[in-house]
Protein backbone atom coordinates (compact mmCIF):
# COMPACT_ATOMS: atom_id res chain seq x y z
CA UNK A 1 0.00 0.00 0.00
CA UNK A 2 1.21 3.49 -0.92
CA UNK A 3 0.53 6.39 1.44
CA UNK A 4 -0.22 9.72 -0.24
CA UNK A 5 0.52 12.51 2.24
CA UNK A 6 -2.32 15.03 2.43
CA UNK A 7 -1.16 18.36 3.82
CA UNK A 8 -3.56 20.48 1.79
CA UNK A 9 -1.18 21.48 -1.03
CA UNK A 10 -1.00 18.48 -3.33
CA UNK A 11 -2.73 17.26 -6.47
CA UNK A 12 -4.12 14.24 -4.66
CA UNK A 13 -6.78 13.34 -7.22
CA UNK A 14 -4.52 12.87 -10.23
CA UNK A 15 -1.86 10.99 -8.24
CA UNK A 16 -4.41 8.64 -6.70
CA UNK A 17 -6.10 8.02 -10.05
CA UNK A 18 -2.74 7.15 -11.60
CA UNK A 19 -2.14 4.56 -8.86
CA UNK A 20 -5.64 3.20 -9.47
CA UNK A 21 -4.85 2.74 -13.16
CA UNK A 22 -1.76 0.79 -12.13
CA UNK A 23 -3.88 -1.31 -9.73
CA UNK A 24 -1.89 -0.30 -6.64
CA UNK A 25 -3.61 0.14 -3.31
CA UNK A 26 -3.21 3.52 -1.62
CA UNK A 27 -4.47 5.70 1.18
CA UNK A 28 -4.71 9.48 1.29
CA UNK A 29 -4.14 10.72 4.81
CA UNK A 30 -2.76 13.47 7.03
CA UNK A 31 -2.51 11.08 9.99
CA UNK A 32 0.99 9.72 10.68
CA UNK A 33 -0.55 6.72 12.47
CA UNK A 34 -2.31 5.69 9.25
CA UNK A 35 0.59 6.58 6.97
CA UNK A 36 3.02 4.58 9.10
CA UNK A 37 1.46 1.38 7.76
CA UNK A 38 2.28 2.29 4.15
CA UNK A 39 5.13 0.49 2.38
CA UNK A 40 5.99 3.69 0.53
CA UNK A 41 5.07 7.37 0.77
CA UNK A 42 4.30 9.98 -1.89
CA UNK A 43 4.69 13.68 -1.07
CA UNK A 44 2.86 15.67 -3.77
CA UNK A 45 2.90 19.44 -3.87
CA UNK A 46 1.54 22.50 -5.64
CA UNK A 47 2.17 26.05 -4.45
CA UNK A 48 4.64 27.83 -2.18
CA UNK A 49 7.63 26.13 -0.55
CA UNK A 50 7.35 28.36 2.52
CA UNK A 51 3.64 27.63 3.02
CA UNK A 52 4.15 23.90 2.50
CA UNK A 53 6.96 23.65 5.05
CA UNK A 54 4.93 25.67 7.57
CA UNK A 55 2.04 23.21 7.28
CA UNK A 56 4.29 20.15 7.39
CA UNK A 57 6.00 21.39 10.55
CA UNK A 58 2.81 22.55 12.29
CA UNK A 59 1.06 19.22 11.67
CA UNK A 60 4.04 17.08 12.64
CA UNK A 61 4.17 15.58 9.15
CA UNK A 62 7.70 16.92 8.54
CA UNK A 63 9.00 15.00 11.55
CA UNK A 64 7.04 11.91 10.53
CA UNK A 65 8.40 11.94 6.97
CA UNK A 66 12.01 12.28 8.13
CA UNK A 67 11.59 9.50 10.69
CA UNK A 68 9.94 7.22 8.12
CA UNK A 69 12.81 7.75 5.68
CA UNK A 70 15.37 7.09 8.39
CA UNK A 71 13.57 3.83 9.18
CA UNK A 72 13.87 2.77 5.53
CA UNK A 73 10.48 3.67 4.06
CA UNK A 74 10.78 4.77 0.40
CA UNK A 75 9.61 8.34 -0.33
CA UNK A 76 8.71 9.96 -3.65
CA UNK A 77 8.33 13.74 -3.86
CA UNK A 78 6.46 15.18 -6.85
CA UNK A 79 6.96 18.76 -8.17
CA UNK A 80 6.92 20.99 -5.05
CA UNK A 81 7.11 17.75 -3.08
CA UNK A 82 10.47 17.06 -4.73
CA UNK A 83 11.77 20.52 -3.86
CA UNK A 84 10.75 20.04 -0.22
CA UNK A 85 13.20 17.13 0.01
CA UNK A 86 16.13 19.53 -0.20
CA UNK A 87 17.83 21.71 2.42
CA UNK A 88 16.36 25.12 1.62
CA UNK A 89 14.49 27.33 -0.84
CA UNK A 90 14.80 30.99 -1.81
CA UNK A 91 11.09 31.23 -2.63
CA UNK A 92 9.47 34.07 -0.64
CA UNK A 93 12.55 34.35 1.55
CA UNK A 94 14.98 31.63 2.59
CA UNK A 95 13.11 28.67 4.08
CA UNK A 96 14.52 25.45 5.49
CA UNK A 97 13.30 22.26 3.82
CA UNK A 98 13.23 18.65 4.96
CA UNK A 99 16.97 18.33 4.38
CA UNK A 100 16.82 14.77 3.08
CA UNK A 101 18.89 15.72 0.03
CA UNK A 102 21.63 18.33 -0.41
CA UNK A 103 20.75 21.43 -2.42
CA UNK A 104 18.91 24.74 -2.67
CA UNK A 105 15.75 25.63 -4.59
CA UNK A 106 16.12 28.83 -6.67
CA UNK A 107 14.01 30.67 -9.25
CA UNK A 108 14.31 29.82 -12.93
CA UNK A 109 15.97 32.82 -14.64
CA UNK A 110 13.70 34.52 -17.16
CA UNK A 111 16.59 35.81 -19.25
CA UNK A 112 19.61 33.85 -20.49
CA UNK A 113 23.18 35.19 -20.57
CA UNK A 114 22.75 36.07 -24.26
CA UNK A 115 19.56 38.03 -23.59
CA UNK A 116 16.97 35.48 -24.71
CA UNK A 117 13.76 35.51 -22.69
CA UNK A 118 11.88 32.50 -21.38
CA UNK A 119 8.48 32.47 -19.76
CA UNK A 120 8.40 31.71 -16.05
CA UNK A 121 6.70 29.60 -14.78
CA UNK A 122 7.85 26.81 -17.01
CA UNK A 123 4.70 25.05 -18.19
CA UNK A 124 4.85 22.33 -20.79
CA UNK A 125 6.57 19.24 -22.14
CA UNK A 126 10.35 18.90 -22.03
CA UNK A 127 12.68 16.03 -22.77
CA UNK A 128 14.29 13.91 -20.06
CA UNK A 129 18.01 13.20 -20.35
CA UNK A 130 19.26 10.37 -18.15
CA UNK A 131 22.33 11.02 -15.99
CA UNK A 132 22.61 8.02 -13.63
CA UNK A 133 20.95 4.59 -13.54
CA UNK A 134 18.26 4.04 -10.93
CA UNK A 135 15.50 1.52 -10.20
CA UNK A 136 13.10 4.46 -10.51
CA UNK A 137 14.06 4.77 -14.19
CA UNK A 138 14.27 1.08 -15.00
CA UNK A 139 12.90 0.42 -18.51
CA UNK A 140 11.91 4.11 -18.83
CA UNK A 141 12.67 5.61 -22.23
CA UNK A 142 14.04 9.11 -22.67
CA UNK A 143 11.15 11.25 -23.81
CA UNK A 144 9.01 14.26 -23.00
CA UNK A 145 7.33 14.79 -19.63
CA UNK A 146 5.09 17.53 -18.25
CA UNK A 147 6.42 20.34 -16.02
CA UNK A 148 4.73 23.19 -14.14
CA UNK A 149 7.20 25.14 -11.97
CA UNK A 150 8.95 28.45 -11.39
CA UNK A 151 11.79 27.14 -9.23
CA UNK A 152 14.40 24.43 -9.69
CA UNK A 153 17.03 22.67 -7.60
CA UNK A 154 20.73 23.55 -7.57
CA UNK A 155 22.90 20.87 -5.96
CA UNK A 156 26.62 20.16 -5.67
CA UNK A 157 25.87 16.44 -5.32
CA UNK A 158 25.90 15.35 -8.94
CA UNK A 159 25.03 11.77 -8.02
CA UNK A 160 21.62 12.92 -6.75
CA UNK A 161 20.52 14.03 -10.23
CA UNK A 162 19.24 10.92 -12.00
CA UNK A 163 17.81 12.76 -15.02
CA UNK A 164 17.67 16.36 -16.14
CA UNK A 165 15.84 18.57 -18.59
CA UNK A 166 16.64 21.97 -20.06
CA UNK A 167 14.59 25.12 -19.78
CA UNK A 168 16.91 28.13 -19.92
CA UNK A 169 19.03 26.24 -17.37
CA UNK A 170 19.66 22.56 -16.69
CA UNK A 171 16.83 21.45 -14.43
CA UNK A 172 17.13 18.35 -12.23
CA UNK A 173 14.05 16.43 -13.36
CA UNK A 174 14.50 13.19 -11.42
CA UNK A 175 16.50 12.95 -8.20
CA UNK A 176 17.30 10.12 -5.86
CA UNK A 177 19.56 8.93 -3.09
CA UNK A 178 19.04 5.87 -0.94
CA UNK A 179 15.30 5.46 -0.40
CA UNK A 180 14.48 9.09 -1.29
CA UNK A 181 13.28 9.93 -4.79
CA UNK A 182 11.74 12.93 -6.51
CA UNK A 183 10.43 14.15 -9.85
CA UNK A 184 10.20 17.82 -10.75
CA UNK A 185 7.72 16.92 -13.49
CA UNK A 186 4.28 15.47 -12.84
CA UNK A 187 4.50 11.73 -13.62
CA UNK A 188 0.73 11.38 -13.26
CA UNK A 189 0.33 13.83 -16.17
CA UNK A 190 3.23 12.59 -18.31
CA UNK A 191 1.71 9.74 -20.27
CA UNK A 192 3.42 6.34 -20.54
CA UNK A 193 6.77 7.60 -19.26
CA UNK A 194 5.24 9.05 -16.11
CA UNK A 195 3.15 5.97 -15.48
CA UNK A 196 6.24 3.77 -15.79
CA UNK A 197 8.06 5.94 -13.23
CA UNK A 198 5.14 5.55 -10.82
CA UNK A 199 5.02 1.82 -11.48
CA UNK A 200 8.74 1.55 -10.73
CA UNK A 201 8.31 3.49 -7.51
CA UNK A 202 5.46 1.24 -6.41
CA UNK A 203 7.68 -1.79 -7.11
CA UNK A 204 10.44 -0.24 -4.99
CA UNK A 205 7.94 0.34 -2.17
CA UNK A 206 6.81 -3.28 -2.39
CA UNK A 207 10.40 -4.45 -2.16
CA UNK A 208 10.50 -5.73 -5.73
CA UNK A 209 12.82 -2.96 -6.89
CA UNK A 210 16.36 -2.46 -5.66
CA UNK A 211 17.18 0.73 -3.74
- The catalytic residues are 79, 186, 188
E strands, the chain, are: 2-5, 26-29, 40-43, 75-78, 86-89, 95-96, 101-107, 122-127, 129-130, 144-149, 151-154, 161-167, 169-177, 180-183
Helix (H, G, I), strand (E, B) or coil at 20: helix
* Residue 71 burial by Cβ neighbours in a 10 Å radius (0-12, 13-18, 19+): exposed
Cα separation, 108 vs 101, in Å, equals 20
Cα separation, 8 vs 52, in Å, equals 8
Cα separation, 58 vs 54, in Å, equals 6
For 141-152, b/e burial (b = at least 16 CB within 10 A) is eeeebbbbbebb
DSSP string, 70-99: HTT--EEEETHHHHTTEEEE-TTS-EE---
| Beta-carbon contacts of residue 13 (< 8 Å; ≥ 6 apart) | none
Amino acid sequence: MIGIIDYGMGNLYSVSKALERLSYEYIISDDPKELKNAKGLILPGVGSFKDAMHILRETGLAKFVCEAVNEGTPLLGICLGMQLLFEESEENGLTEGLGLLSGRVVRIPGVTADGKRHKVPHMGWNRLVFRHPSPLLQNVEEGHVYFVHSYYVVTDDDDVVLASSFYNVEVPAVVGKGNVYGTQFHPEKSGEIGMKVLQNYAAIAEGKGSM
